[in-house]
Amino acid sequence: MDDHQETNSLRKITILIVDDHPIIREGLRKLLEMEHDIDVIAEAGSGEQALEMARQTQPDVVLLDINLPHLNGLQVASQLKADRNRTGVILLTAYDDAEQVLHAMRAGASAYCPKDIETERLVEVIRQVARGNFVIGGKVYNERGVQDWLNNQVEALAGPYVVDNGEHFVPLSPREMEILRCVTRGLSNKEIAQTLGISHQTVKNHMTSILDKLNVDDRTQAAVYALQRGWVRMTDYRRPAEE
């Protein structure tokens, strides 16, 4: 009996689909429900709903759009990892580059796929992730293998200094993402402090950390970095306030 038959003989792979566009969720559901070993048990339209549904339903796999409003896919993956949730996370993105893959996998994703991935390929990724494996660029890794891949990629892209310090490619914390979204909406540090109910100095400290983690020089570069990677939406963008 092969792996596919074994999976089917035990039970179906349960799936949670997360995307803020209902038509995309519906399309994914229809495609996946054609597979005899997959069961779409829930849908969510936001990061907050995704966390709630994942905690309630404990699906085998979450298909998660990285570009969600408010709480994005990286933050959801990171929070599920912090919860020690055993659900495998497949991040779907329209923006695909090496740094983004590093962010995704270090955040806790099990796979990272472009949104234009072929259905047959996506189904195979789902099956691999449901077995506890990791999939990057079409290659399958076990837990040790993906850690080795991460270490090698960080060193190749950033050099030994960043590997030793281990901070440059670490995804931003939920609070830092909140602040970065405020920056991309044109808010000053003072306005961010008032909006989030924290001190001006706390905002400044977080901004220093954000610039360091993203390896950029100023607020505008940080905003562009976030926009290019789909962490914030172009429709919400306003020129960052100078400090």
**pLDDT tens-place string over residues 173-209:** 778 888 998 999 899 999 999 999 998 888 988 898 8
Which conformational region is residue 94 in: left (phi greater than 0), alpha (psi within -120 to 50 degrees), or beta? alpha
51, burial (CB in 10 Å: exposed 0-12, middle 13-18, buried 19+): buried
Number of domains in the chain: 2
Q: Is the same domain home to 135 and 25? A: yes
Mean confidence (pLDDT) of the chain:
84
Structural domain span for residue 71: 3-150
Amino acid 95 reads: Y
Residue % of the chain over a pLDDT of 70? 86
Q: What is the side-by-side strand order in the sheet with 88-93?
A: 38-44, 13-18, 61-65, 88-93, 111-114, 134-136, 139-141
More confident: 101 or 27: 27
**Any idea what the CATH number is for the domain that residue 29 is in?**
3.40.50.2300
Q: Is-above-0.85 flag for pTM?
A: no
Query: Could you tell me the pLDDT band of residue 75, with boundaries at 50, 70 and 90?
Result: confident
- Residue 68: CB atoms within 10 A of its CB come to 25
Residues 51 and 102 in one domain: yes
End-to-end CA distance of the chain: 64
143 in any annotated domain: yes
Q: Are residues 180 and 119 in the same domain?
A: no
Phi first, then psi, for residue 139 (nearest 5°) are -105, 145
Residue 97 has pLDDT above 60, yes or no: yes
pLDDT of res. 161: 38
What tokens appear for 212 in the block?
């360091």
The predicted pLDDT at position 159 comes to 46
Least trusted range by pLDDT, from 11-15, 50-54, 152-156, 169-173: 169-173
Based on the number of CB atoms within 10 Å of its own CB, is 59 exposed (0-12), middle (13-18) or buried (19 or more)? buried
